[in-house]
Structure 1
Amino acid sequence: MRALITNDDGIDSPGLAALAAAALDSGLDVVVAAPVSQASGTSASVAAIGDSGRVVSERRSLPGLDVEAYAVAAHPGLISLIACRGGFGGKPDVVLSGINLGANVGRAVLHSGTVGAALTGHLNDVTSMAVSLDVGLDEPEPLWDEAGEVVRVVLPVLLDMPDASVLNLNVPNIAGVRGLRWAELARFGTVQSRVDDRGDGEVELVHVYAEQSLVPGTDTALLAEGFATLTALRSVERDVSPERALPAWPA
């Protein structure tokens, strides 16, 4: 099986290499295509970097890995889309996005470039998974190898799921993860953005820890307890629950 490895932290992220290594160890045929620079918070944007409309990529090598790798001037959502339409050597069987520096939890996953790449794979009928490591604002040393080991455990589960399934995996940044748990999405993420008014028509987004209590069974709560969390996601679908009878129009 062929796997696209991408991320939103950029081609030089150690988390990208850790994810590629885990995929290789799991027997997947790996191609890496990741943004040439940081692209966090881009959701499923299909924007390319630059104004020409062309997507520029260049071959790169990843330290210690014998894989085909590209640095791409585009957001991860577009990279995933290009791959699923046959770019970078052909349509993958699975899209793996990460390993992100920082958790992607709660409904805030909507804004994540890491999750956006996985959801784009799902929309194009490719099984996908986003992977994130819960490194907090105080920046402890990221334990990439711990996250890679969890990926090795989860990949058989992912590949055994129905076609075009999509999972969101978060791993606590601790030695000795307590186990795996299915998790609900929390209402908010672990870190939230606060808007500070700077005057003169300017505002500043400041990242702060969420103050809400952790709800048992959610991804934020289980991560705090030392568990790696899995959440199966749905992408864009019709929601019939709020629909009501419409007025006769035109009369």
Structure 2
Amino acid sequence: MTNSQQDTTKIRVLVSNDDGVFSPGIKALAQSLTEIADVAVAAPDVEQSAVGHGITIRRPLRFKHTAAAGFGDIPAYRVDGTPTDCVVLGTRILQKPDVVVSGINLGYNLGNDLTHSGTVAAALEGMILGIHSIAFSQAANEQGEYNFEHAKAYIPRIVQWVYERGLPPRTLINVNFPPVKPRGVKITFLSDYKFEDELVKRQDPDGRDYYWVAGTPKSTIFEEGSDEWAVREGYVSITPVRFDLSHREFMTQMEDLAE
């Protein structure tokens, strides 16, 4: 594609998330891209946080246009399924996008959180389908409030860069915004940030046990250059994440099993 073509052709972007089509984060993300992109939205009709890369195969799915979510002129569709379902349907029913973006998630997706995150899973599905994909997340401020104006100022530049430069195979971009005006951008690696699971046991009115799985954020190593370090220091964290789960270095130590 020539520079003149890039100047006159808008990027085709599919927007999804895991907080649901009515989340303020997805509106901010979609609206931030309208100047540089033709934007369409396909998102869950209810919150689907922490569902990971689940896909619905045991029942049919509904794909409905929605005006009630407040996207204005941006075409928006709600899906009664997971974030992965949304990307599968959105890329096939609507025009195939140049870039899939997911978020803005209400809360960080750092380190080991990526394995649980529905927000990252939507970007992962885009990557699997051969589409450049980005996940966006942001923490709330100390009052528990979200202000996406600073994030919206960075998002078009990030999406434009990914569209023009491309990403390596099996790679997506994971972006986390601090809750305050960023000091700048850091290219980071994944920390060991995770939620330490806690099992809360209770009883219903009939005396039967039930359980809540809760968690507390925890890091055992706080390392400069990591995604957690960057956002704690007030920077935008941009992490290229490669989904190649093979431990190639260890393969040589296992060769005796093949004898």
Give the shorter-chain TM-score range: 0.7 to 0.9
Q: 1:93 to 1:64 in 2, by over 3 A?
A: closer
1:24-103 alignment runs, 5 A limit: 24-25=34-35, 27-47=36-56, 53-61=59-67, 62-63=69-70, 65-84=72-91, 86-87=92-93, 89-103=94-108
Shift of 1:246: 4.3
- Superposition RMSD on alpha carbons, in Å? 2.2
Take 1:225 and 1:232, find their aligned partners in 2: how far apart are those partners? 19
Match of 1:112 among 106, 111, 117: 117
* Residue pair 2:79, 2:86 contacting (<8 A) in 1 also: yes
Shift of 1:90: 2.2
Task: Using structure 2 for the length normalisation, give the TM-score.
Answer: 0.84
Take 1:135 and 1:193, find their aligned partners in 2: how far apart are those partners? 22
Alignment partner, residue 33 of structure 2 = 23
Take 2:228 and 2:258, find their aligned partners in 1: how far apart are those partners? 46
Take 1:146 and 1:65, find their aligned partners in 2: how far apart are those partners? 21
Report the AA paired with residue 28 of structure 2: A
Shift of 1:195: 2.8
Task: Using structure 1 for the length normalisation, give the TM-score.
Answer: 0.87
Report the AA paired with residue 132 of structure 2: T
Take 1:162 and 1:207, find their aligned partners in 2: how far apart are those partners? 36
Take 1:94 and 1:126, find their aligned partners in 2: how far apart are those partners? 6
Shift of 1:198: 4.9
Take 2:125 and 2:202, find their aligned partners in 1: how far apart are those partners? 36
Alignment partner, residue 208 of structure 1 = 216
Report the AA paired with residue 155 of structure 1: V
Alignment partner, residue 11 of structure 1 = 21
* Residue pair 1:150, 1:171 contacting (<8 A) in 2 also: no
Unaligned runs of 5+ in 1: none
Unaligned runs of 5+ in 2: 1-10
Q: Check if 1:172 corresponds to 2:178.
A: yes
SS of corresponding position for 2:50: coil
Q: Check if 1:158 corresponds to 2:152.
A: no
In percent, how many aligned pairs have the same letter? Answer: 27
Match of 2:250 among 232, 235, 242: 242
Runs of 4+ deviating beyond 6 Å: none
Report the AA paired with residue 40 of structure 1: S
